[in-house]
Amino acid sequence: MERAWYFVMHKTLSVSVTAVSLVWGGCAGSIPPPTQRMADAQAAERSAAELGANRVPAAQLSLKLAQEQIAEAKKAMADDENKRADSLLIRAKADAELALAQTREQGAKAGVEEAVEDSAEQKATNIGQGAVR
C-alpha cells in the first residue's frame, strides 16, 4: 500500500513539474510588444528634437542614434522580436535623454556666457559713471 502511494505521488509530482515547465517556457517565448517603452522612447526623442538637439553638435549623434534605434525597434516588433525591440527601446530612450541633457547643457553654457558679458558691460558702465573706482 505504501509503495502504491509513493508511485502515485511520484507520477503526480513529475506531471506537475512538466506542466509548470511547459507553462513557464511558453511564457518566456511570448513577450508582449513593448508599446509603453516605444511611447517613452518616442516622447524622449521628440522632446530632444523640439528643444533643438539637431542644432547642438554634441547632441546630434545621440539624437540620431535614438531615432535609428526606434526605427529598428519598430521593425523588430513587426517581426515579433519583442525582446530585441525592448532592448533597443531602452537604449533609444537613454540616447534621447542624453541628447536632451546635452542640449540643455549647451543652453546653460550660452546663458552663463551672456551673463558674464552683461556683468562686464555693467561694470564698465559703473566705472564710466564713477560709481566704482
Residue 11 lies in a domain: no
| Count of domains observed in the chain | 1
Boundaries of domain holding 53: 34-124
Q: What angle do CA 107, 112, 116 make, to 5 degrees?
A: 150
Residue 4 lies in a domain: no
pLDDT band at 130 (very low <50, low <70, confident <90, very high): confident
More confident residue, 12 or 69: 69
Which pLDDT tens digit goes with each residue over 55-65? Answer: 999 899 999 99
Cβ neighbours for 31, distance < 8 A, ≥ 6 positions apart: 82, 83, 86
Tell me if residue 56 falls in helix, strand or coil. coil
Residue 44 lies in a domain: yes
| pLDDT value of residue 34 | 97
Residue 81 lies in a domain: yes
For residue 3, CA distances in Å to 9, 14, 92 come to 10, 16, 60
Which pLDDT tens digit goes with each residue over 17-57? Answer: 555 555 554 444 589 999 999 999 999 999 999 999 999 99
Residue 40 lies in a domain: yes
Residue 22 lies in a domain: no
Residue 76 lies in a domain: yes
